[in-house]
Amino acid sequence: MDNPAARLNKIIQDRLCIGCGLCASFAGDDAIGFGLNDDGDLVPFARDGLTDAVMDQVDQICPSMRVEGLPQHLIDDSPHHDLVWGPHHGLKTGHAGDAMIRHIGSTAGVLTALGCFLLASGEVDFIAHVKVADDPPHHGMATISTTQDEVIAAAGSRYGPTAPLRHIMALLDRGQPFALIAKPCDLNAVRNLAHLDERVDRLIKYWLTPVCGGFTPDEGYQQFLDRHHIPKEDVKALRYRGYGCPGPTQLTMASGETKDIHYLDFWGDDESHWVLPLRCKICPDGIGEGADLAASDTWDGGSPDRVESETDLGLNHMIIRTKAGMELVENAVKAGYLTITTDATIDDLNRTQPHQVKKKYAGLARAHGLAEAGSFAPQLVNIRAEALTDAAGEDAYEREKQGSKKRALALKNN
C-alpha cells in the first residue's frame, strides 16, 4: 500500500483508530488534519503534506499499530512481576486524603489527588489531562492544569470520544516538566513516541492512568439517550460519574433541569451490554502497562452493586509499576494528599477486574485474528503477549482469534 493517505485511512476503516490525536500533532496540520467524521468519531484525515516518510513514523507511534508497555530498563528494575498484571513495585488500596476530592473523583480521587500534589510540590509545571468538552457535551477534551483548582475542576471520567494527545508536541515544545494523565492506550502511544523524540522521557516526569474498560463512541451515547427517551439536542452538559462511587450519570438539559441516571443504566449491568469501538474490544493493555501508576475500581466482579453504590465512599486499587511511582505515592501520603488503607494483592485485582484478566490472555490471539481478516493489527511490545498466549492454551487462542476475525470481517462488510 504505497499511498500514505490510503495507509492512514486503512487504520480508520479497520476500526482501529482511537482518536487520540497523536498522529496529527506529530505530523503537523499540513500533513494530517483532525476532527469529527460523519459517525461522530474523532479521527485524523490525510492532507497534501502527508508523505510516505511521515506515514512510516506514524505507523511507529500509532497505538493501534504498536502497543508498548514500560521500557525494558524499568521492567528490569521492578521487584515484582505477574503474568497478567505485569511488573510492579507495589499494590495498594486507598483514596484521596481530601474528602471532597475523594467524593467528586470517579472512584476515590487518587489520580486527581496525585495531580494536585504534583503541582503543590513543584515537581511539575503542569498536568496534561482531559476535561469536559465545550461541545458536544458527551466528549472530553485535552487540557492542561497549572493549579489545583483546575485539576479538581476536570475530575471525573470522560467516557466519550477524547483526543488527549492532540497537542502533545506543543506541550513538549514548552520545555517544561509535566505529568501526563491519560488512558492506557494513550500512554502506549507516547511510549512509542519516546523512540522518536528524546524530549518525552526527559519532560514527562510522571505517567498516570486509570485502568480502562474502553470508551463509548457516539453510537453508544445515542443508544443510551434513546433508552431514556432523551433528545440529543436537549442535553447541554453530561457528567458520566463522580460525586460518589461511582456516582450518578448526570445530564443537564437546556431547560436547566438535571437528570440523574444510575451508572449501571448507562453501561448496562454486564459487559455484554457495552458499546465499544473494535479497538477497545481487542485492547491488549487496559491495565496501564506504560504507567508509573494505574488506578482501578475495586468492585467485586468488576461492577458496582446498585444498592451499596449509593453510600460507597470509594476506594482505588493502585498498581505502582515504577520506583518513581512508589516514591510519588509515599510522598503524597506524607503530605496528606493520599490515604493508604491496606496493601492490595493480585487476587484483589483478579477479583475486581475479571474482564481485564480475560483481555490480557486474549491479546495476541485477537491481534492475529485481525491480521487474518486482512486488517492492520498491533505489534505487542513488552507486555508478555507470547507468554500469556501460551498460558491460555491452544483452544483459548483459537477461539479468541476466530472471534476477533469474525468481528473484523463483519465490520468490513457493513
pLDDT tens-place string over residues 56-112: 999 999 999 999 999 999 999 999 999 999 999 999 999 999 999 999 998 999 999
Mean pLDDT of 296-323: 93
User: Distance between CA 78 and CA 202 in Å, rounded?
Assistant: 20
Q: Domain tally for the chain? A: 1
Q: Where are the beta strands (DSSP E) in 89-210?
A: 90-96, 126-132, 140-145, 178-181, 204-210
Residue 41 lies inside a defined structural domain of this protein = no
pLDDT of residue 183: 98
Give Cα 368 to chain centroid, integer Å. 23
User: Distance between CA 339 and CA 334 in Å, rounded?
Assistant: 9
Mean pLDDT of 305-325: 93
**Sign of the CA dihedral 68, 73, 78, 81?**
positive
Angle of helix 354-372 relative to helix 385-392, nearest 10 degrees?
A: 100
Mean pLDDT of 8-30: 97
Whether 1 has a pLDDT exceeding 90, the answer reads: no
pLDDT of residue 171: 98
Q: Can you give the residue range of the structural domain that contains 171? A: 72-216+274-354
For residue 134, name the pLDDT band (cuts at 50, 70, 90).
Answer: confident
**Sign of the CA dihedral 130, 326, 78, 296?**
negative
Return the SS3 of 237: strand
Considering the chain, what is the average pLDDT of its residues? 95
Residue 188 lies inside a defined structural domain of this protein = yes
Residue-wise pLDDT for 338-348, tens only, equals: 999 999 999 99
Whether 403 has a pLDDT exceeding 90, the answer reads: yes
Residue 264 lies inside a defined structural domain of this protein = no
How far CA 340 is from CA of 295, 318, 332, in Å, comes to 13, 10, 10
Whether 261 has a pLDDT exceeding 90, the answer reads: yes
For residue 272, name the pLDDT band (cuts at 50, 70, 90).
Answer: low
Of 353, 325, 312, 318, residue with least CA distance to 102: 312
Residue 407 lies inside a defined structural domain of this protein = no
pLDDT of residue 56: 97
Question: Which residue reads 526527559 in cell numbers?
Answer: 202
Mean pLDDT of 14-34: 97
User: Distance between CA 11 and CA 318 in Å, rounded?
Assistant: 33
Residue 385 lies inside a defined structural domain of this protein = no
What grid cell was written down for 125? 509545571
User: Distance between CA 283 and CA 117 in Å, rounded?
Assistant: 31
Of 19, 17, 1, 9, residue with least CA distance to 65: 17
- Percentage of the chain lying above the pLDDT 70 cut: 98
Residue 83 lies inside a defined structural domain of this protein = yes
Count CB neighbours of 347 within 10 A. 8
For residue 270, name the pLDDT band (cuts at 50, 70, 90).
Answer: low
For residue 27, name the pLDDT band (cuts at 50, 70, 90).
Answer: very high
Residue 37 lies inside a defined structural domain of this protein = no
Residue-wise pLDDT for 48-68, tens only, equals: 999 999 999 999 999 999 999
CB within 8 A of 196, min separation 6: which ones? 26, 57, 60, 61
Residue 189 lies inside a defined structural domain of this protein = yes
Q: Which amino acid is at 248?
A: P
